[in-house]
Amino acid sequence: MAKVFLPKGTRDLMPATMNHRLAVMEIIRKVFSKYGFEPMETPAFERIETLTGKAGENEKLMFRILKRGEGGLRGEVDQGLRYDLTVPLARVVAMNPSIPLPFKRSQIQPVWRADRPQKGRFREFYQCDIDTIGTSSPIADAECIAVVHDALMALGLTGFTIRVNHRQLLRSMAESIGAAEHETTVIQALDKLDKVGRGGVQKELIERGLDASQCAKLWTYIDGAPIPGGAESERELKTILDLALDMGVDADRVCIDRTLARGLDYYTGPVFEAVLEGDYTGSISGGGRYDGLIGMFSGKQDVPAVGISLGIERIFMLMDEMGLLPAIPTTTQVWVTIFSEDTRSASLEAATLMRSAGINVQVSTRTGKLAKQFKDANGRGVPYVLVCGPEEAAAGTVVLKNLSTGEQWTGPADQVAAQLL
């Protein structure tokens, strides 16, 4: 037998999984639309020049595509699969200078990274982003928080906290402890606080050249002491939080966290992160303001931009683990059996009536031996079977049976269909 395999680090999304994912994405899309974020898609690949312009650490993880024709035979590459949705967004903004601003788009598409595959980590995975391009209004920042809040609430992932911080506050803290040149060190160390605790952070800082008194001062800021030079950023965060509360965000689910850093070279202002309470480490959403990046292709210095990414693969996984979405092994509601060739037409007509009533129906391709047909239905998780034997066919009726309760109804197909609506 010929052997075939999936490419390393990839997976097929079979119907039971897809039903689940489509339902989750539909919920998220609705929230995005409520805030005016409209769907966009970009090609799977980009020109290699586009991807390597700003790719940095992702460049070695990129899947490269050979040129077609002669060049490809020589190993020349002209395109690569996208590794995020932000580079394509920056390209779209640069190529469409007349697009009305602010441009608010959502994008739910796969990206590809030639990462070492791990449990729950794939080389093809979906990202789910919203971004507002072209305004510095704090409303845009607040909407990021509100969208994450509303999406997680709508999904039933209600035990979350959205942490908020400002990159300028981190800079001011580093300056105030006399470690301006160590800003990156401080941010990187603080980023690990959740994992290693204050002791671990302090150890790292001291190894990297800070002293104990600098660390002590840092902890006072983390604990809430006023940060010299930080007043404006604090006010900005306060405004954003107030606006988010106006948008219906629950005050208990959002907090300022002076340790939040969200990576390094990208964000220029407020940063956000959503974490679940309990034993779930890592964030399920993150984002912030990044006024320097979008202009990279347009040649403009600063194009204001703010966005968040919902960790949709993680959300699928967690919801599955937490039993938050009922498993959807099948969306088929009724398995229409075929009693015999003679009654086949009657069964098909009943199936047609049920479909017209809005019901999802699968017709058995097996004829006779009803027990086997019931087993087919049961094995796939289809809740109801429909039987149309000679008597029913003659009377113009069908029998609809609930496979788990055994309850059954007899009557014309369109009438028994009403049981399911």
- Rule CB under 8 A: say whether 52 interacts with a second copy: no
Residue-wise burial string across 232-268, b where 16 or more C-beta atoms lie within 10 A, e elsewhere: ebbebbeebbebbeebebeeebbebbbbbbbeeebbb
Of residues 64 and 217, the one with the C-beta less far from a second copy: 64
Residue-wise burial string across 323-341, b where 16 or more C-beta atoms lie within 10 A, e elsewhere: eebeebebebbbbbbbbee
Sign of CA dihedral 209, 211, 214, 220: positive
Helix (H, G, I), strand (E, B) or coil at 220: helix
- Rule CB under 8 A: say whether 326 interacts with a second copy: no
Which residues make Cβ contacts (< 8 Å) with residue 139, sequence separation at least 6?
243
Beta carbon of residue 254, minimum distance to a second copy (angstroms, whole number): 15
**Identified binder of a second copy from the candidate list 81, 254, 261, 276, rule CB under 8 A:** 81
DSSP 251: G
- Rule CB under 8 A: say whether 75 interacts with a second copy: yes
Which residues make Cβ contacts (< 8 Å) with residue 360, sequence separation at least 6?
331, 332, 333, 334
- Rule CB under 8 A: say whether 72 interacts with a second copy: yes
Beta carbon of residue 363, minimum distance to a second copy (angstroms, whole number): 6
Instruction: Quote the CA–CA distance of 294 and 421 in Å, as a whole number.
Output: 49
- Rule CB under 8 A: say whether 408 interacts with a second copy: no
Interface of this chain with a second copy, residues 137 to 196, rule: CB under 8 A: 137, 139-140, 143, 150
- Rule CB under 8 A: say whether 197 interacts with a second copy: no
- Rule CB under 8 A: say whether 359 interacts with a second copy: yes
φ, ψ of residue 275 to 5 degrees: the values are: -125, 150
- Rule CB under 8 A: say whether 54 interacts with a second copy: no
Of residues 56 and 209, the one with the C-beta less far from a second copy: 56
**Identified binder of a second copy from the candidate list 326, 379, 405, 406, rule CB under 8 A:** 379
Q: Which two structure tokens, joined as six digits, stand for 271?
A: 């940063």
Beta carbon of residue 348, minimum distance to a second copy (angstroms, whole number): 4
Beta carbon of residue 229, minimum distance to a second copy (angstroms, whole number): 25
The region of 29-37, 284-292, 317-325, 396-404 touching a second copy under the rule CB under 8 A is 29-37
Beta carbon of residue 105, minimum distance to a second copy (angstroms, whole number): 6
Spacing of C-alpha 153 from chain mean position: 14
Interface of this chain with a second copy, residues 82 to 101, rule: CB under 8 A: 88, 91-92, 94-96, 100
Q: Which of 145, 151, 132 is nearest to 307 (CA)?
A: 132
- Rule CB under 8 A: say whether 396 interacts with a second copy: no
Strands (E), 48-159: 64-66, 77-81, 103-112, 124-133
Cβ atoms of 387 and 380 within 8 Å: the answer is no
The region of 30-38, 259-267, 389-397, 407-415 touching a second copy under the rule CB under 8 A is 30-38
**Identified binder of a second copy from the candidate list 2, 251, 371, 421, rule CB under 8 A:** 2
Q: Are strands 103-112 and 38-39 parallel, antiparallel or unpaired?
A: parallel
Cβ atoms of 13 and 21 within 8 Å: the answer is yes
**Identified binder of a second copy from the candidate list 27, 64, 203, 409, rule CB under 8 A:** 64
- Rule CB under 8 A: say whether 320 interacts with a second copy: no
214: enclosing H helix or E strand: helix 212-222
- Rule CB under 8 A: say whether 42 interacts with a second copy: yes
Beta carbon of residue 421, minimum distance to a second copy (angstroms, whole number): 14
Interface of this chain with a second copy, residues 280 to 309, rule: CB under 8 A: 296-299
Beta carbon of residue 311, minimum distance to a second copy (angstroms, whole number): 19
